[in-house]
């Protein structure tokens, strides 16, 4: 049957699929984004790693820096301090967040969405803000300093309280996701078998969220051990790894020791990252697609207890926010509490300026726009590129690394990499673009995972259909994929925007006088003793983030109504 | 539209598809002719979808070649092949209206707007949805979505239409209705069509030819009648329709021994060496009326069970009380009445020679009754 004109390969030889022009486009863009991650993350990490083995002149000295670190008690005790504070915080926050999530998902208490909203407020704060609020509550001139029973706020107590407030919404979010996947059929089965409420809790509820709990624990662990804002304000003489990096680099200009502390901090962060990934994977495997959502039934006593609990937690969060707000408007705390806008006159303060606020807005806007485009395209290509397994595998791996890298380590790594005279990318140093790049990379992973989740929910055959219709993939990307994923895309942009507004850790090493940022200004003003203006700047950040979030919600509702008409029957 | 009069359109040769160590297609060769409606039929996991996706270029085979319209397409990506496809999920673009879904492939071809408009209307009329163009897919029933997917696949006038279980997400009534519609439509436009299904009724009613697959190989290719009346293997015999499997021995030319009774079999000759064989007959082929001990191929059997199927009763019968010789036969309602058939009663039935199928001894009788 085969006519001579057909050059069919001899039977039995492996078919090498022809790579079409479109496939090449996909691969090239994929490689481009992978290169971006390589240059903005892997190379800098290599730079900081090698720096930790060098003298300040760049001479390789093996483990000498590490030996110095471990033979200086003031330095290595920080490890113990960091772990102590972190673990205590986890032990407090995880059960509290668990109970709060339990109340929101398994009780019939009223005002659930109000309490959820309040609980999520700290996400909009730089971690410096709850710490500053604590100073006004429990500090030397605090409103209720007696409540600490004479203990010093500055030190582990203050740090633990501050961190607890800062990480609470993050842990709560994980718990809520884990709890929302409950399968009502299991509860019915338990009831039929005559299990009581407590027995059901231990045999159905807890096993169902066990991986969520593990994941929450490790996320909490990472956030606290790498956080810099709270210990910076409340650390006092209590040294922690995160503050040590800053002190070594900014205080003593000992970059090599900073690199060593950074590498030491990286180890638990990487470990927690892997533990969290494993837990998350198991949690997903628990999800059965046929699960019937659980509908709680009213139980007055239980609902009342849950409501009381939520009121207490909500009150604490509002008290923190309210105190910071009040302090920022009080003329002269605690002596003259009359209303004044003096503290918002940042240009008069040491280390602060209104420009820094506008810089932050600029940073957040660029990060949201460029970051969302890069992250979503990257996730799309990882998911949809045909063949090219190696490239996709590497890209997938690169996308996950940022989550394991503490901001301080990333920021310091950028100094080593970009401030190297031999580096052509050095022109970026001390500019707005490097802040944008750093922030995108810093928050890449969560945004990437959000995009992947949305893409996985799309029919995998859209691409097959469009290629059969001879429509190039990029057309389908813009006409179908992007519109269908718009809710996720808006979420990603919001996530990047808010985090760019509140982040301190990475950018604290990278700003220049021209690109000072609001969160860094907060830090510097607080350092200089201008606590009230720092609180004012914090309120400005929270207010802006909340405002942008509100506008975002309204806009996206309107946008969704127009572009997502198909969602409503 | 028989296989012999049309010209060859698609030819797959020695296709092998491996997923790691697992061989999903093992040396599959197949010819499909112009304007034919071919069904890939087989149990779940037998490789039907894999074969279809290899033909589409969506998952290219490990080795082996595919020719379409005289052109070697073995290594081409889907965008360089000529086909339209409908998936089980339909994969309609949810954010586009029905109209835009159907127009999707046309807009890209640089067609003029009025031409696109006319073509879309023509297609929507063809699939019976002329006034649903402004709806979104979520606003349509499953059957309607299916038709839109079909219209979209046909829009660019491809040479080959691929359907992967297009009806399996629908309920029984819509399904049988759409079966006829798709078949009529295919006949009307004469497009060469391959449909994947695991529903034998679907394959038997729609296909010009059926490709029966099992474990990554083709068991038989033939028209529905050939497949039903002359299954080429015990697997096909068992998979299509209902079949009795009885242990027997060869007993000379065109003869088998069943439960001590010698029976004539058409068309198969066996050496007279009393070797073990399997004799098959469909329950509806067992002759029950006007049979006595002297009828050809008659055998006496005892009714062990009776099952009411509506128009007929399906009886389970034992020969000589031997469970290995248990078989099923259909009795019409009035035969039941006339002969007062009841459990435990002994009856004479006959196995018509042209209805018996003989296979060499079956080591693997999985699925046999
Ligand atoms: N991407 C893949 N990776 C590994 N194995 C696969 C893959 N796709 C299919 N298989 C395996 O190949 C075999 C054939 O799969 P295929 O999808 O072709 O079955 P099918 O005949 O279409 O079945 P069904 O009726 O369930 O759709 C199955 O055993 C399946 O598990
Ligand atoms: Mg299939």
Taking the domains of chain A in order of start, what are their residue ranges? Answer: 27-47+75-281+300-567
pTM higher than the cut 0.80: yes
**Phi, psi for A530 (deg, rounded to 5):** -85, 70
* Residues β-bridged to residue B163: B86, B195
Please compute the mean of the pLDDT values over residues A268-291 and round it to a whole number.
76
- Nearest CA-CA distance, residue A14 and chain B, Å: 5
- Nearest CA-CA distance, residue A483 and chain B, Å: 7
Distance B165 CA to ligand 2 centre (A): 7
Please compute the mean of the pLDDT values over residues A69-78 and round it to a whole number.
88
Confidence grade of residue A1 (pLDDT, cut at 50, 70, 90): very low
Residues of A in contact with B61 (CB under 8 A): 15
Please judge whether A15 and B96 are an interchain contact, meaning their C-beta atoms are less than 8 angstroms apart. Answer: no
Higher pLDDT, B262 or A476: A476
- Residue in B closest to A569 by C-alpha: B139
**Phi, psi for A194 (deg, rounded to 5):** 80, 20
Confidence grade of residue B2 (pLDDT, cut at 50, 70, 90): very low
Please judge whether B105 and A6 are an interchain contact, meaning their C-beta atoms are less than 8 angstroms apart. Answer: no
Please judge whether B72 and A7 are an interchain contact, meaning their C-beta atoms are less than 8 angstroms apart. Answer: yes
Q: Are A252 and A126 in contact (CB under 8 A)?
A: no
Q: Are A249 and A255 in contact (CB under 8 A)?
A: yes
Ligand 1: which of B24, B88, B169, B217 to mutate, most ligand atoms within 8 Å of CB? Answer: B24
Given A16, A19, A480, which is nearest B95 (Cβ)? A480
Q: Of the candidates A511, A490, A136, which has an alpha carbon nearest to the alpha carbon of residue A333?
A: A136
Please compute the mean of the pLDDT values over residues A447-460 and round it to a whole number.
90
From atom 20 of ligand 1, which residue's Cα is the shortest distance away?
B45
- Nearest CA-CA distance, residue A458 and chain B, Å: 9
Ligand nearest to the CA of B43: 1
From atom 2 of ligand 1, which residue's Cα is the shortest distance away?
B19
Higher pLDDT, A324 or B5: A324
Please judge whether A565 and B136 are an interchain contact, meaning their C-beta atoms are less than 8 angstroms apart. Answer: yes
Given A16, A22, A461, which is nearest B75 (Cβ)? A16
Q: Are A286 and A211 in contact (CB under 8 A)?
A: yes
Q: Is B75 exposed, middle or buried (0-12, 13-18, 19+ CB in 10 A)?
A: middle
In this structure, whether the domain defined by A27-47+75-281+300-567 belongs to CATH 1.10.3720.10 is answered with yes
From atom 22 of ligand 1, which residue's Cα is the shortest distance away?
B49
Distance A381 CA to ligand 1 centre (A): 24
Looking at the predicted structure, is the pLDDT value of residue B205 above 70?
yes
- Nearest CA-CA distance, residue A398 and chain B, Å: 25
pLDDT for B5 equals: 59
From atom 26 of ligand 1, which residue's Cα is the shortest distance away?
B44
From atom 17 of ligand 1, which residue's Cα is the shortest distance away?
B49
Ligand nearest to the CA of B17: 1
Higher pLDDT, B154 or A182: B154
Please compute the mean of the pLDDT values over residues A509-531 and round it to a whole number.
90
Query: Mapping DSSP to helix (H, G, I), strand (E, B) and coil, where does residue A175 land?
Result: helix
Looking at the predicted structure, is the pLDDT value of residue A565 above 80?
no
Looking at the predicted structure, is the pLDDT value of residue B111 above 90?
no
pLDDT for A122 equals: 93
Distance B27 CA to ligand 2 centre (A): 19
CA dist., res. A523 & res. A520, Å (int): 5
pLDDT for A151 equals: 83
Give strand ranges (E) for chain B. 8-19, 22-33, 37-41, 63-68, 71-72, 84-86, 160-164, 192-197, 209-214, 217-222, 244-250, 255-258, 261-264, 276-281, 298-308, 312-319, 322-332, 346-350, 357-360
Mutate to test the interface with B, among A387, A469, A560 (most CBs of B within 10 A): A469
Confidence grade of residue B228 (pLDDT, cut at 50, 70, 90): very high
Percent of chain A at pLDDT > 90 equals 54
pLDDT for B363 equals: 44
Please judge whether B64 and A11 are an interchain contact, meaning their C-beta atoms are less than 8 angstroms apart. Answer: yes
Percent of chain A at pLDDT > 70 equals 94
pLDDT for A6 equals: 44
Given A11, A22, A461, which is nearest B65 (Cβ)? A11
- Residue A184 CA: distances (Å) to CA of A34, A177, A189, A292, B347: 43, 15, 9, 5, 55
Residues of A in contact with B57 (CB under 8 A): 17
Ligand nearest to the CA of B199: 1
pLDDT for A389 equals: 86
- Residue in A closest to B29 by C-alpha: A11
Looking at the predicted structure, is the pLDDT value of residue A5 above 70?
no
Please compute the mean of the pLDDT values over residues B86-95 and round it to a whole number.
91
Closest ligand 1 atom to the C-alpha of B40?
21
Mean pLDDT score of chain B: 87
Q: Which residues line ligand 1 (CB under 6 A)?
A: B 19, 22, 24, 42, 44-50, 198
Confidence grade of residue B308 (pLDDT, cut at 50, 70, 90): confident
In A293-406, which ranges are continuous DSSP H helix? 300-329, 354-384, 389-404
Residues making up chain A, counted from first to last: 569
Distance A396 CA to ligand 2 centre (A): 28
What letters, b where the CB count within 10 A reaches 16 and e where it falls short, cover A458-477? bbebbbbbbbbbbbebeebb
Confidence grade of residue B267 (pLDDT, cut at 50, 70, 90): low
Confidence grade of residue A86 (pLDDT, cut at 50, 70, 90): very high
Please judge whether A467 and B78 are an interchain contact, meaning their C-beta atoms are less than 8 angstroms apart. Answer: yes
Percent of chain B at pLDDT > 90 equals 49
Please judge whether A11 and B62 are an interchain contact, meaning their C-beta atoms are less than 8 angstroms apart. Answer: no
Mutate to test the interface with A, among B49, B78, B196 (most CBs of A within 10 A): B78
pLDDT for A2 equals: 40
Confidence grade of residue A149 (pLDDT, cut at 50, 70, 90): confident
Q: Is the peptide bond before A334 cis (omega within 30 degrees of 0)?
A: yes
For B30, half-sphere exposure in the C-beta direction (CA atoms, 13 angstrom radius) is 31
CA dist., res. A500 & res. A441, Å (int): 11
Ligand nearest to the CA of B54: 1
Please judge whether B91 and A462 are an interchain contact, meaning their C-beta atoms are less than 8 angstroms apart. Answer: yes
Cα angle A362, A367, A372; round to 5: 140
Please judge whether B87 and A484 are an interchain contact, meaning their C-beta atoms are less than 8 angstroms apart. Answer: no
Ligand nearest to the CA of B26: 1
DSSP secondary structure letter of residue A201: I
Looking at the predicted structure, is the pLDDT value of residue B154 above 90?
yes
Which H or E run contains A435? helix A432-442
Angle, in degrees to the nearest 10, between helices B142-154 and B172-189: 20
Q: Of the candidates A472, A520, A543, A550, which has an alpha carbon nearest to the alpha carbon of residue A20?
A: A472
Angle, in degrees to the nearest 10, between helices A156-180 and A300-329: 130
pLDDT single digits (tens) B59-80? 999 999 999 999 999 999 999 9
pLDDT single digits (tens) A418-438? 988 888 888 888 899 999 999
Looking at the predicted structure, is the pLDDT value of residue A7 above 70?
no
Q: The tokens 């707007």 sit on which residue?
A: B113
Ligand 1: which of B21, B22, B44, B45 to mutate, most ligand atoms within 8 Å of CB? Answer: B45
Distance B48 CA to ligand 2 centre (A): 6
Please compute the mean of the pLDDT values over residues B333-343 and round it to a whole number.
83
DSSP secondary structure letter of residue B97: B
- Cβ count within 10 A of residue B333: 12
- Residue in B closest to A20 by C-alpha: B77
Mutate to test the interface with B, among A454, A465, A483 (most CBs of B within 10 A): A465
* Residues β-bridged to residue B31: B11
pLDDT single digits (tens) A152-181? 889 999 999 999 999 999 999 989 888 877
What letters, b where the CB count within 10 A reaches 16 and e where it falls short, cover A358-373? ebbbbbbbbbbebbbe
pLDDT single digits (tens) A220-247? 999 999 999 999 999 888 999 999 999 9
- Nearest CA-CA distance, residue B191 and chain A, Å: 16
Please compute the mean of the pLDDT values over residues A105-109 and round it to a whole number.
90
Closest ligand 1 atom to the C-alpha of B213?
21
Mutate to test the interface with B, among A9, A561, A566 (most CBs of B within 10 A): A566
Please judge whether A467 and B77 are an interchain contact, meaning their C-beta atoms are less than 8 angstroms apart. Answer: yes
Please compute the mean of the pLDDT values over residues B266-279 and round it to a whole number.
71
- Nearest CA-CA distance, residue B85 and chain A, Å: 7
Q: B146: which 2 tokens?
A: 């299916």
Mutate to test the interface with B, among A468, A474, A480 (most CBs of B within 10 A): A468
Distance B360 CA to ligand 2 centre (A): 31
Distance A356 CA to ligand 2 centre (A): 59
Looking at the predicted structure, is the pLDDT value of residue B249 above 50?
yes
Please compute the mean of the pLDDT values over residues A29-40 and round it to a whole number.
94
- Residue in B closest to A483 by C-alpha: B95
Please judge whether A14 and B63 are an interchain contact, meaning their C-beta atoms are less than 8 angstroms apart. Answer: yes
Say yes or no: ipTM exceeds 0.90: no
pLDDT single digits (tens) A369-399? 999 999 999 999 999 888 788 899 999 899 9
- Residue in B closest to A17 by C-alpha: B75
Distance B203 CA to ligand 2 centre (A): 14
CA dist., res. A527 & res. A505, Å (int): 15
Looking at the predicted structure, is the pLDDT value of residue B157 above 60?
yes
pLDDT for B252 equals: 76
Q: A562: which 2 tokens?
A: 């127009």
Query: Mapping DSSP to helix (H, G, I), strand (E, B) and coil, where does residue A248 land?
Result: helix
């Amino acid at each position: 049957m085969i006519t001579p004109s057909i050059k069919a390969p001899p039977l039995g030889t492996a078919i090498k699929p022809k790579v079409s022009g479109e496939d090449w486009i996909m691969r090239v863009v994929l490689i481009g984004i992978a290169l971006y991650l390589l240059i903005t993350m892997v190379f800098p990490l290599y730079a900081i790693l090698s720096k930790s083995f060098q003298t300040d002149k760049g001479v390789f000295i093996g483990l000498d820096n590490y030996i110095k670190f471990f033979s200086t008690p003031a330095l290595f005790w920080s490890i113990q301090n960091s772990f102590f504070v972190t673990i205590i915080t986890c032990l407090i926050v995880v059960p509290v967040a668990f109970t709060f999530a339990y109340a929101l998902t398994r009780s019939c208490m009223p005002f659930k969405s109000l309490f959820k909203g309040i609980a999520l407020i700290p996400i909009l704060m730089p971690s410096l803000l709850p710490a500053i609020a604590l100073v006004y509550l429990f500090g030397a001139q605090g409103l209720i300093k007696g409540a600490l029973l004479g203990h010093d706020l500055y030190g582990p107590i203050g740090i633990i309280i501050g961190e607890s407030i800062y990480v609470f919404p993050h842990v709560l979010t994980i718990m809520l996701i884990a709890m929302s996947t409950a399968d009502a059929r299991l509860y019915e089965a338990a009831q039929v078998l005559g299990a009581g409420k407590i027995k059901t809790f231990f045999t159905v509820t807890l096993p169902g969220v066990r991986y969520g709990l593990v994941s929450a624990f490790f996320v909490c662990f990472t956030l606290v051990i790498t956080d810099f804002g709270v210990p910076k304000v409340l650390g006092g003489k209590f040294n922690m790894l995160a503050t040590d990096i800053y002190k070594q680099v900014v205080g003593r200009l000992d970059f090599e020791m900073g690199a060593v502390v950074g590498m030491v901090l990286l180890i638990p962060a990487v470990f927690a990252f892997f533990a969290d990934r494993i837990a998350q994977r198991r949690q997903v495997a628990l999800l059965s697609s046929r699960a019937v959502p659980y509908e709680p039934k009213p139980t007055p006593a239980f609902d009342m207890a849950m409501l009381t609990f939520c009121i207490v937690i909500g009150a604490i969060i509002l008290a923190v926010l309210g105190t910071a707000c009040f302090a920022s408007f009080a003329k002269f705390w605690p002596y003259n509490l009359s209303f004044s806008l003096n503290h918002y006159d940042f240009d008069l303060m040491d280390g602060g300026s209104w420009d820094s606020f506008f810089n932050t807005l600029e940073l957040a806007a660029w990060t949201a726009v460029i970051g969302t485009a890069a992250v979503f395209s990257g996730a799309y290509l990882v998911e949809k590129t045909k063949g090219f397994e190696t490239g996709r595998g590497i890209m997938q791996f690169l996308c996950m690394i940022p989550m394991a890298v503490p901001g301080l380590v990333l920021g310091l790594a950028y100094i080593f990499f970009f401030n190297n005279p031999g580096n052509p990318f050095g022109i970026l140093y001390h500019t707005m673009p490097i802040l944008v790049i750093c922030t995108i990379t810093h928050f890449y992973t969560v945004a990437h995972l959000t995009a992947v989740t949305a893409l996985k929910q799309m029919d995998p055959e859209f691409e097959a259909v469009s290629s059969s219709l001879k429509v190039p993939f990029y057309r389908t990307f813009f006409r179908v994929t992007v519109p269908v994923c718009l809710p996720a895309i808006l979420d990603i942009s919001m996530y990047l925007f808010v985090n760019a507004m509140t982040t301190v850790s990475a950018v604290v090493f990278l700003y220049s006088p021209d690109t000072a940022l609001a969160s860094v200004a907060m830090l510097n003003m607080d350092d200089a003793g201008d606590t009230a203006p720092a609180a004012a700047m914090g309120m400005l950040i929270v207010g802006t983030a909340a405002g942008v979030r509100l506008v975002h919600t309204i806009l996206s509702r309107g946008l969704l109504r127009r572009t997502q008409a198909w969602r409503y029957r | 539209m028989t296989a012999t009069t049309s010209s060859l359109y698609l030819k797959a040769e020695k296709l092998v598809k491996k997923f790691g160590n697992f061989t999903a297609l093992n040396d599959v060769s197949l010819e499909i002719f112009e304007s034919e409606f071919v069904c890939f039929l087989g149990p779940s996991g037998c490789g039907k979808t894999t074969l279809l996706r290899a033909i589409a270029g969506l998952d290219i085979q490990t080795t082996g070649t595919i020719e379409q319209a005289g052109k070697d397409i073995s290594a081409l990506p889907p965008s360089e092949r000529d086909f339209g496809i409908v998936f089980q999920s339909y994969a309609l673009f949810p954010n586009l209206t029905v109209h835009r879904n159907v127009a999707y492939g046309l807009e890209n071809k640089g067609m003029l707007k009025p031409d696109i408009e006319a073509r879309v209307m023509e297609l929507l009329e063809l699939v019976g949805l002329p006034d649903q163009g402004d709806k979104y897919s979520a606003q349509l029933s499953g059957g309607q979505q299916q038709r839109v997917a079909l219209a979209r696949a046909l829009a660019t006038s491809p040479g080959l239409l691929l359907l992967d279980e297009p009806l399996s997400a629908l309920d029984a009534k819509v399904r049988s209705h759409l079966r006829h519609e798709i078949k009529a439509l295919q006949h009307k436009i004469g497009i060469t069509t391959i449909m994947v299904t695991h529903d034998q009724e679907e394959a038997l009613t729609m296909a010009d030819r059926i490709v029966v697959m099992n474990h990554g190989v083709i068991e038989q290719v033939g028209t529905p009648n050939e497949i039903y009346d002359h299954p080429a293997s015990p697997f096909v015999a068992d998979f299509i329709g209902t079949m009795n499997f009885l242990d027997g021995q060869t007993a000379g030319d065109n003869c088998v021994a069943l439960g001590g009774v010698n029976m004539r079999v058409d068309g198969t000759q066996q050496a007279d060496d009393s070797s073990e064989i399997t004799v098959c007959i469909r329950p509806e082929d067992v002759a029950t009326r006007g049979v006595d001990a002297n009828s050809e191929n008659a055998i006496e059997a005892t009714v062990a069970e009776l099952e009411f199927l509506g128009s007929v009763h399906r009886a389970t019968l034992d020969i000589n009380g031997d469970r290995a010789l248990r078989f099923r036969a259909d009795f019409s309602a009035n035969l039941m009445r006339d002969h007062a058939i009841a459990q435990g009663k002994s009856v004479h039935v006959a196995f018509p020679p042209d209805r018996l199928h003989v296979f060499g001894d079956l080591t693997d009788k999985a699925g046999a009754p």
